[in-house]
Chains A and B, each alone.
Chain A
Amino acid sequence: MNRFDYVRAGTVAEAVQAFAGAEGSRFIAGGTNLIDLMKYDVERPGRLVDITRLPLDRIEERDGGLRLGALATNAQVAYDARVQSRYPLLANAILAGASAQLRNAASTGGNLLQRTRCYYFYDTATPCNKREPGSGCSAIGGVARIHAIFGTSAHCIATHPSDMCVALAALEAVVQVSGPEGERSIPFAEFHRLPGDSPQTDTTLKPGEIVVAVDLPAREFGPHFTYLKLRDRLSYAFALVSVAAALELDGDRVKTARLALGGVAHKPWRNREAEELLQGKPATRESFQAAADRVVAEAKTQGGPQGNAFKVELARRAIVRGLEQAAAGTPQSISDKRIQ
C-alpha cells in the first residue's frame, strides 16, 4: 500500500476542507473496499480523510420515512427494527451481500461508493478504462462472465456490485450530500451513472462531495416484496443476476410495480416501461413474463464460452420468479437458499 497523509475529521465541514487540502484525497469510513483496492495498488490516495468520527451513524424518522446516516453500518441498517418492519426489501438485500464481518464494518455511504469487482479493474497488469482512462477494456473480448448486459459502452462493461443499492433503487431512495458548494439531494436513479466514454466516473458526485445520508421515502410495500439473488455459490458471492421487486396490489391486479436488477449493469438497472407495463394487469405469470421480456429486449451480451449471454435467460427467469414471490408475499429467504 502506498504512503499517504492521514486526517481525522471531527465535523463534515472539517472533512470537506481536509479533502480539498491535498491531491488524490479519499474519504475513508469502513474501509472494506478502499483498503482492499489500496493493497492492489488500484487506489493510491495522497491523503485519507477518516470520517468515522463524524456524527452520521444514526437512523432517524424523517417525513414519514427513514433517514439512514451515511456512517450507519450495513449490519446496523439491516437489523434495525424499523427497517426490518417497514423496508424488509432493503434489510434482505443487505443481508444477501458480503459476510457478517464486512457488513459490521461497511458503511451506508461506502456501500454506494464501492467500485466494480471486474477482474481487469483489479489487475493493474491489464488495460482498464475505469482504472486508467484511455487504456482500453480487457473485459470486452475477454472473460466477461460476470459483466453487464445493459447500458454498456464500447469503453466499459463493468457492473456495480452492490446488493443494497438495488433495493435502494427500487425504493427510490434519495442521497443527501455535502460538499465545497454546499448541500444537495440526488435521486437514487441519478446517483450512479452509465459508463459511456468516461467509465472512470461511477457516480454524479462532484469532486470533494461527501454522502451524509440516504433517505427512504414513506412509501412501503407491505409483504409484497422480494430480493432474489442468483450467484455461483449460496453465500458470500457477488450476484450474477439479482432482482429487487416490490408491488402494490389492488385485489389480484398490480397497482404499482418496482423492479430493479443487480449484477447486470454499471448501476442498479430499472426499466420504467416494464414497470408501467404491469400497471393494472393481473398479477399472474403471463403478466410477469411480458414485463421480463420487455426488460431483456434491451440486453447486449458478450459472446463466446467466457461470455455472459447466459445472463439474459437467467435475468428473464429471475424477474418472473421475483415478481411471483412478491405477489404471493413469500419473499426469498436469506438463510434457506432454496428458490420457491
Chain B
Amino acid sequence: MLIESGSPVAADTRVGISLTINGQRRDLQVAPWTTLLDLLREHLDLTGTKKGCDHGQCGACTVLVNGTRVNSCLALAVMKDGAEITTVEGLAALSGEGRNSLHPIQEAFIEHDAFQCGYCTPGQLCSSVGLMNEGHAKSRDEIREAMSGNICRCGAYTNIVDAIEDVMGQGGGR
C-alpha cells in the first residue's frame, strides 16, 4: 500500500516507497521497521555497506542520503521515501568518468594505503565524500575531528587523513 499522510499503516503491512539508489530509481515494498542498512544489504544485495555495531557508534554503515552522510543503521527506510541514496557501490559513478573508473577518494585510499582489513572502508569512503560535500573541515585537525564517527579497528587513521587531504587538495574530487 502507499503511504497517505495522517493514515496509520498497520504493523503487519508492507508499504510502497520509492528511492533513487546510486542513480537508479527503485520502487520497493518494505516493512516499517526495516532500516535503510538492512534494505540495502538484505533486500537489494548491496552488501558494500557494512553492518558493524548496528547502533550508530562505528560508522561502517555510512551512506549518503541526498548527498549528506548518515548512519544507515539508524534510519528507517520508510522515512527516507523519495530520497537519493549513494552507497559505496555508487561512488565511482559520482566521479563522472565511466563505470570502470574509481572515485578520486577511492584512488587516494589505494595510493595512501588507507585500509588494512577493509571492513570499515566503505563507511570511511562515503564519510569522506560527505565531509567534502559539507566543506567545513579544512585543516588536518578538522578532518580528524569530522571523521571521528568512523572507527577503524586496524588503525589506518593517519593514512585515511592523508588520503582525504590529498583529494581535498585536488579540489574535492566531485
Report A's interface with B, CB cutoff 8 A.
1-10, 14, 17-18, 21-22, 28, 30-32, 35-36, 39, 47-48, 50, 52-53, 75, 79, 98-102, 104-105, 235-236, 334-336
Contacts and interface: CB of A to CB of B under 8 A. Distances in A.
B59 interface: yes
Nearest first, the 7 closest Cβ-Cβ pairs linking A and B are A99-B149, A10-B5, A235-B148, A6-B32, A3-B11, A335-B141, A236-B148
A101 B70 contact: yes
16 contacts: A3-B11, A4-B11, A4-B33, A5-B10, A7-B9, A8-B5, A31-B76, A35-B35, A35-B73, A35-B74, A35-B75, A79-B134, A99-B148, A100-B147, A100-B148, A101-B130
A238 to B, nearest CB: 11
A334 B137 CA distance: 11
A104 B76 contact: no
Given A3-B33, A7-B7, A28 B145 contact: no
A15 to B, nearest CB: 9
B71 interface: yes
A7 B148 contact: no
Contacts of A39: 54-55
A102 B79 contact: no
Nearest to A49: B8
Contacts of A99: 59, 148-150
Interface of B: 3-12, 15, 32-33, 35, 54-56, 59, 62, 68-71, 73-76, 78-79, 127, 130-131, 134, 136, 139, 141-142, 144-150
Interface centre among B11, B12, B32, B56 (most CB of A within 10 A): B56
Contact of A7 (B6, B12, B56, B127): B6
Contacts of A102: 56, 71, 74, 149
A38 B55 CA distance: 10
A35 B76 contact: yes
Given A6-B32, A6-B78, A50-B79, A104 B70 contact: yes
B127 A100 contact: yes
B8 A18 contact: yes
B9 A18 contact: no
A312 to B, nearest CB: 28
A129 to B, nearest CB: 23
Contacts of A31: 74-76, 79
A300 to B, nearest CB: 31
A30 B78 CA distance: 13
Contacts of B35: 35
A9 B5 contact: yes
A100 B76 contact: no
Nearest to B9: A6
Nearest to A233: B148
B71 A6 contact: no
Given A8-B3, A31-B76, 13 more contacts: A3-B11, A3-B33, A4-B32, A10-B5, A28-B76, A35-B73, A79-B134, A98-B149, A101-B70, A104-B70, A105-B75, A235-B144, A335-B139
